[in-house]
Structure 1
């Protein structure tokens, strides 16, 4: 599988924006986004192994290890270090505070007041949020993309089911949704100049001190000696989920834009279900099968090339 673009220099070497939208390039971006969201979904099983481990300390370790891996890749690929401008540094800090630190905090707190299925259904509205936000930014409504986002979101709700929550739990779930959307929206302006590799590495670096501060303020121990299963889970979350999936996601996001890439968020609960089925932890239900089909239908609607997109690809 080809590597995602890794630097601002790599982006600058592309002949034009149109060439980045050639059919082959778009198909590769689809694969990257699908793989990234599938990894995120399958990681829920690994996350369950850390249910008794200190939350913020574990997340701080995860992002610290991921940052070291990404910085090592930067050095290995001889990608020059670029000092972010003050504006870029502020955006990276906000990206880490929302999409990484904030999302983790909201999800952890929400589980104390809401069923996981309800949290998953609320966060599953990410495609709609991204599609609407892009439409507002561009002052142009891509009706088919928005319709596809609604279909994908409905499919996620069917897969997840609707659990219960008190008002605080619902508010925290909405906060997690906002942070999940910010993970993509705040990255979009950074990708053309910094590239997916730098954005991923810098965001992980920025998240570590934030999580350390939260962990030291939270009650209970900040860190603990992990058991064997916890150590494996931390390694998987650090390397595969964070370092690899971040690169894949931001590589695809740079080529597709937030609205189209966001449709792939619907694969998260489907991948989680598939992983559970493969491990024998769950059994397939008609509801889950129907929901997965609805998600696939939404992706087909949103990603199928229409007349205008085909013309752009031909011109590219």
Structure 2
């Protein structure tokens, strides 16, 4: 197997783990409070990432006060904000709908760069934003998206914005931080931030299922740690544009896993939405905008 094919395989598996976070969060939402689940996720992932750092000989660089502040905000938004909003949203909406909305992350990240950094949008980006918006609208304003489902979809989109802010803030860091070190920092800081509100929650619902507990452990070990390792192993073997193309697999895997594991129906609205989102992400990557989903502590 060639190095490039190995890269494709690793990237595809990484995106499968990203899609599976939607399914895990759906199972968690029914039995574990969002901040408690987030704190447990990082409590399990942090020591493993720390051990990986030591094995790799990675060290924490010297950080300025500004970088420390940025990392804290990143952990609050990308690590804690994303996870808690995702779990909260999935208590109200379907995993299939959430998968489509999460697929808009690369486009949302590009849009945030335009709004907050003043970057000039390219025509391809404007088309991608329009397509992604159409995809989200096909879900959010579908006939069955009334009441709680609309609220849930809104929370999922807020989670995407949190992750977009994580990516935007990454550009503001002045220190060179390796992906492994940054993921470890995000898990550690995220644990501290999530643990504070978790103390005021009733962590577990009555009659918590074994599936919910397994889902928390899975989320901590497979997407948080395994997804990180797979993504960077794959990205090291292919070009940036090729890696960006694979981000389009995340919403596809989420919708398919929702159908296969949770038995959720996949209707025309989801199919139309995912087609729009796929077209947006693929167009964005092929245009060479450089915006790609980052597997890190934010996820």
> TM-score by structure 1 length?
0.69
Q: Is the 8 A contact 2:67 2:174 kept in 1?
A: no
Q: Is the 8 A contact 1:58 1:234 kept in 2?
A: yes
Choose from 39, 63, 85 the match for 2:17: 39
State the match for 1:102 in structure 2. 81
Q: Is the 8 A contact 1:63 1:204 kept in 2?
A: yes
Q: Give a deviation string over 1:121-148, Cα, whole Å, max 9, x none.
A: 6655534432123345363322213322
State the match for 2:219 in structure 1. 237
Q: Matches of residues 122-161 of structure 1 in structure 2 within 5 Å?
A: 125-135=104-114, 137=117, 139-158=119-138
Is 1:297–2:279 an aligned residue pair? yes
Q: Is the 8 A contact 2:19 2:99 kept in 1?
A: no
Distance verdict in 2 for CA 1:284–1:56, change over 3 Å: closer
Distance verdict in 2 for CA 1:120–1:271, change over 3 Å: closer
State the match for 2:270 in structure 1. 288
Is 1:180–2:193 an aligned residue pair? no
Shift of 1:64: 1.6
Choose from 74, 79, 100 the match for 2:53: 74
Q: What residue ranges of structure 1 are gaps of 5+ in the alignment?
A: 4-23, 310-316
CA distance in 1, matches of 2:103, 2:19: 12
State the match for 2:65 in structure 1. 86
Shift of 1:202: 0.1
Q: Is the 8 A contact 2:76 2:190 kept in 1?
A: yes
Choose from 168, 175, 179 the match for 1:196: 179
Distance verdict in 2 for CA 1:304–1:173, change over 3 Å: closer
CA distance in 2, matches of 1:31, 1:150: 30
Q: What residue ranges of structure 2 are gaps of 5+ in the alignment?
A: 291-299
Q: Give a deviation string over 1:42-78, Cα, whole Å, max 9, x none.
A: 2222223322124322221111211111111111111
Is 1:53–2:32 an aligned residue pair? yes
- Three-state SS of the structure 1 residue aligned to 2:60 is coil
C-alpha RMSD of matched pairs (Å): 4.2
Determine which structure has more spread, i.e. the larger CA radius of gyration. Answer: 1
State the match for 2:297 in structure 1. none
State the match for 2:198 in structure 1. 215
- Three-state SS of the structure 1 residue aligned to 2:24 is helix
Shift of 1:237: 0.3
Distance verdict in 2 for CA 1:94–1:135, change over 3 Å: same
- Three-state SS of the structure 2 residue aligned to 1:217 is coil
CA distance in 2, matches of 1:272, 1:118: 9
State the match for 2:252 in structure 1. 270
State the match for 2:146 in structure 1. 164
Q: Is the 8 A contact 1:124 1:156 kept in 2?
A: no
Mean CA deviation greater in 270-279 or 184-193:
184-193
Aligned residues: 279
